[in-house]
Amino acid sequence: MFDTILQKAISNIDTICSVLKINDDLRELLFSQDNSGRQILAQHEQFTSLLENIPQRKDWQICDHCTAVTQLYAVYESFVEKLILEWLQVVPQLFPNYLDLEPKIQNAHREGIGRLLIELNKNRFKELTAEKVMQGFLAGVTGSTTYELLPEAFLSQDQNLRQEVLEKLFADVGINKAWSWLIKYRKIKKFMVEIRGDRDRAKDSQNNSHHSSCNSFASP
């Protein structure tokens, strides 16, 4: 269940990386110093329009960067929301009696139901009705039938999923200290080490380039 969600997110990230790699390779070809890339493409009629519409290299890179960041965040947000949705389907099986849920979950659920009822006329909630919003909650507090934790009641926030928001979101559904667990996870720790290494190497490269320029300027 959760593995499927993870694999889908990994697949989406791989796609983004592949697109960036292809664009990098294409830029190297088109902006080669000897202009060989453009000469090769010019020999093929189907690439004529491509050559006519090549953006400036820096503008192209900026566009790629912005698109990648936006897409990566979308993958991240979708991943978190799907995890929450799957978890909320499991909770009633773990706690058949709604009143046995942690008070924090019940409070977050009740407050979320209240927000949904107020904002029910918004387009993002057009698939919901007042009856749909209320029925799971009523089933829980009355114990008449099996209750349902409506995902929208927990996912209706509009804030970016930074650390504080992510922690609260998971805590509201009964998963406490999610961030503490996350930063201790071995794959996350390995990733952060690699990121810091890349950052340090980039700094060293910039410093070396700066020193080289200064020495060149200072040379007689």
| pLDDT, tens only, 129-139 | 999 999 999 99
Rounded Cα gap, residues 67 and 64, in angstroms: 5
Ranking 7-16, 117-126, 143-152, 192-201 by mean pLDDT, the lowest is 192-201
DSSP 143: -
- Per residue in 29-78, pLDDT (tens digit) is 888 777 776 676 666 666 666 777 788 989 999 999 999 999 999 999 99
Pick the closest to residue 149 from 161, 170, 135, 128 (CA basis): 135
* Region label for 176, one of left (φ > 0), alpha (ψ between -120 and 50) or beta (otherwise): beta
Please list the alpha-helical segments (H only) found in the chain.
2-30, 36-42, 48-52, 57-94, 103-118, 130-142, 151-155, 163-172, 178-184, 186-218
- Per residue in 167-188, pLDDT (tens digit) is 999 999 999 988 888 888 888 8
Report pTM: 0.78
Two tokens, residue 49: 């329009």
* Region label for 169, one of left (φ > 0), alpha (ψ between -120 and 50) or beta (otherwise): alpha
Whether the CB-CB separation of 38 and 30 falls below 8 Å is answered with yes
Residue boundaries of the structural domains of the chain: 1-94, 95-177
Is the four-CA dihedral 127, 128, 131, 133 of positive or negative sign? positive
The packing angle between helices 103-118 and 130-142, to 10°, is 160
Residue 102 phi, psi (nearest 5): -55, 140
